[in-house]
Amino acid sequence: MNFKLFRTLFLVFIIPIFLFSQDILQEQELKNKIVDEHLNEQVLVANEIVKKINNEKALLTDKIKKFNDEINYLENRISINKKENNLVAVKRDEVKILLLKEKKTFNETLENIIKGKKAYKDKAYFQKILNENIQLLENNSWNDYKKDYLIEKDSQGAISKEFINNYNELVNQNNQQLFTLRYLLENMNLYRQTNFFIDQFNIQYLIKSIDESSYISTISDFTTYHFKFSIGEISVVLLIMSFFRLLNTKIITLLTSLICKYFFKNCDEDIEKYLRRSIQRPLILALYTLSIQLSILILIKDTNLINSIIPWINTFYLALFTWAIYSFLTNSISNFAQNLVDKYPNVRKEMIVFILRITKIVLIILVILFLFSQLGLDIKAIAASLGVGGIAIALASKDTLANFFGSLNIMTDNSFSQGDWIQTDSIEGTVVDIRMRTTRIRTFDNAMITVPNSELANANIKNYSKRKIGRRIKMNIGITYESKMSDIVNLKNDIYEMLHEHPDIATERNAILNATKKFEAIKREDLQGVKRNLLVYIDEYDNSSINILIYCFSRSPDWDKWLEVKEDVIVKISELVYKNNCEFAYPTQTLHLKNN
Longest dimension (CA), the chain: 212
DSSP letters, 354-399, are HHHHHHHHHHHHHHHHHHHHHTT--HHHHHHHHHHTHHHHHHHTHH
* Residues near 16 by beta carbon (within 8 Å), at least 6 away in sequence: none
More confident residue, 588 or 264: 588
What pLDDT is stored for residue 477 in this prediction? Answer: 92
For the segment 194-217, the average pLDDT, to the nearest whole number, is 66
Share of the chain above pLDDT 70, in %: 71
Q: How much of the chain, in percent, has pLDDT values that exceed 90?
A: 10
Render pLDDT for 56-115 as a digit per residue (tens, 0 to 9): 655 555 566 777 788 888 888 888 888 888 888 888 888 888 888 888 888 888 888 888
Confirm whether 105 is domain-assigned.
yes
Q: Distance of CA 378 to CAs 262, 316, 366, 529, Å?
A: 39, 20, 15, 57
Give 536: exposed, middle or buried? Use CB within 10 Å, 0-12, 13-18, 19+: buried
Q: Spell 147-168 as b/e; 16+ CB within 10 A means b.
A: ebbeebeeeeeebbebbbebbe
Does residue 6 carry a pLDDT above 80? no
Q: What is the CATH number of the domain that holds 528?
A: 3.30.70.100
Element (H, E) at 479: strand 471-479
Query: Are 38 and 105 members of one domain?
Result: yes
Contacts of 271 (CB under 8 A, 6+ apart): 260, 264, 335
3-state DSSP call for residue 451?
strand
Domain CATH code at residue 437: 2.30.30.60
Q: What is the pLDDT of residue 11?
A: 53
Verify that 351 and 482 share a domain, yes or no: no
- The answer to whether residue 425 scores a pLDDT higher than 60 is yes
Q: For residues 44 and 146, state if they share a domain.
A: yes
Range with the lowest mean pLDDT among 119-128, 391-400, 512-521, 543-552? Answer: 512-521
Provide the pLDDT confidence category of residue 197 given band limits of 50, 70 and 90.
very low
Quote the pLDDT of residue 516.
42
Q: Report how far residue 290's alpha carbon sits from residue 152's, in angstroms, rounded to the nearest whole number.
A: 61
Are 481 and 453 members of one domain?
A: no
The answer to whether 335 and 274 are in contact (CB under 8 A) is yes
d(CA 213, CA 201) in angstroms, rounded, equals 16
Task: Indicate the number of domains in the chain.
Answer: 5
Q: What pLDDT score does 517 carry?
A: 46
What is the spatial distance between Cα 293 and Cα 288, in angstroms, rounded to a whole number? 9
**How do residues 237-267 score in pLDDT, each as one tens digit?**
777 777 777 766 667 677 777 766 666 666 6
The answer to whether residues 50 and 184 belong to one domain is yes
- Whether 53 and 82 have beta carbons less than 8 Å apart is answered as no
Residue 553 bridge partners (DSSP): 472
**What is the predicted pLDDT for the residue at 278?**
72
pLDDT value at residue 518: 47
Listed residue (98, 84, 97) closest to 142, CA to CA: 98
Residues 164 and 69 in one domain: yes
Bridge-based pairing state of the strands 462-463 and 421-423? antiparallel
Cβ atoms of 117 and 129 within 8 Å: the answer is: no
**Is 6 within the bounds of a domain?**
no
SS3 483: coil
Question: For 554-569, how does the pLDDT look when each residue is reduced to its tens digit (9 = 90+)?
Answer: 888 888 899 999 999 9
Same domain, yes or no: 319 and 295: no
Handedness of CA 272, 273, 279, 281 (dihedral sign): positive
- Together in a domain, 480 and 499: yes
DSSP 448: E
Instruction: Give the integer Cα–Cα distance in Å for 282 and 318.
Output: 10
Q: Which long-range contacts (CB under 8 A, 24 or more apart) does 558-566 make?
A: 558/471, 559/471, 561/504, 562/471, 562/473, 564/504, 565/473, 565/502, 565/504, 565/505, 566/473
Residue 8 confidence (pLDDT): 59
Same domain? For 92 and 182 the reply is yes
User: How far is the C-alpha of 500 from the C-alpha of 530, rounded, in Å?
Assistant: 17
Residue 514 reports pLDDT greater than 50:
no
Please provide the DSSP assignment of 396-433 as one string. Answer: HTHHHHHHHHHHHHHHHHT---TT-EEE-SS-EEEEEE
The pLDDT of residue 495 is: 93
- Does the pLDDT of residue 25 top 50, yes or no? no
Residue at 91: amino acid letter: K
- Of 173 and 191, more confident: 173
What letter does residue 389 receive in the DSSP assignment? T
One-letter amino acid of 14: I
Angle between helices 158-186 and 123-138 (to 10 degrees): 150
Of 198, 223, 254, the residue that ends a domain is 198
pLDDT at 63: 60
pLDDT tens, residue by residue, 456-497? 888 888 888 777 788 889 999 999 998 999 999 999 999 999
Using the 3D structure, point to which of 373, 388, 403 is the last residue of a domain. 388
Average pLDDT, the chain: 76
Q: Is the same domain home to 249 and 283?
A: yes
Q: In this structure, how many other beta carbons lie within 10 angstroms of the beta carbon of residue 139?
A: 8
Q: Do 319 and 280 have their domain in common?
A: no
> Is pLDDT at 330 greater than 80 in this prediction?
no
Higher pLDDT, 506 or 64: 506
Of the pLDDT bands very low, low, confident and very high (cuts 50, 70, 90), residue 445 is confident
Residue 29 domain flag: no
**Amino acid (one-letter) located at 352:** I
Which has the higher per-residue pLDDT, 161 or 266?
A: 161
Domain residues for 450?
A: 414-463
Residues 86 and 163 in one domain: yes
Q: Is residue 590 part of a domain?
A: no
pLDDT band at 375 (very low <50, low <70, confident <90, very high): low
In sign, the C-alpha dihedral spanning 165, 166, 169, 170 is: negative
pLDDT confidence of residue 242: 76
- Domain boundary residue among 301, 333, 354? 301
Which residue, 218, 240, 241, 242, is CA-closest to 231?
218
In a domain, 584, yes or no: no
Are the C-beta atoms of residues 538 and 492 closer than 8 Å to each other?
A: yes
In a domain, 539, yes or no: yes
Q: What is the pTM of this model?
A: 0.41
* Range with the poorest average pLDDT among 24-28, 61-65, 101-105, 344-348: 24-28
Q: Are 112 and 124 in contact (CB under 8 A)?
A: no
Instruction: Report yes or no: 231 and 220 within 8 Å, Cβ to Cβ.
Output: yes
Would residue 24 count as lying in a domain?
Answer: no
Average pLDDT over residues 395-399: 62
H or E element at residue 120: none
Which positions ≥6 away from 201 have C-beta within 8 Å? none
* Predicted pLDDT of residue 444: 86
Contact criterion met (CB below 8 Å) for 473 and 566? yes
CA–CA distance, 320 with 500 (Å, rounded to integer): 62
Strand 462-463 to strand 448-452: parallel, antiparallel, or no bridges (unpaired)? unpaired
The enclosing H or E element of 251 equals helix 231-263
418 inside domain: yes
- Please measure the distance between the N-terminal and C-terminal CA atoms of the chain and give it in whole angstroms: 212
Among the ranges given (11-20, 428-437, 501-510), the one the predictor scored with the smallest mean pLDDT: 11-20
Task: Note the pLDDT of residue 581.
Answer: 92
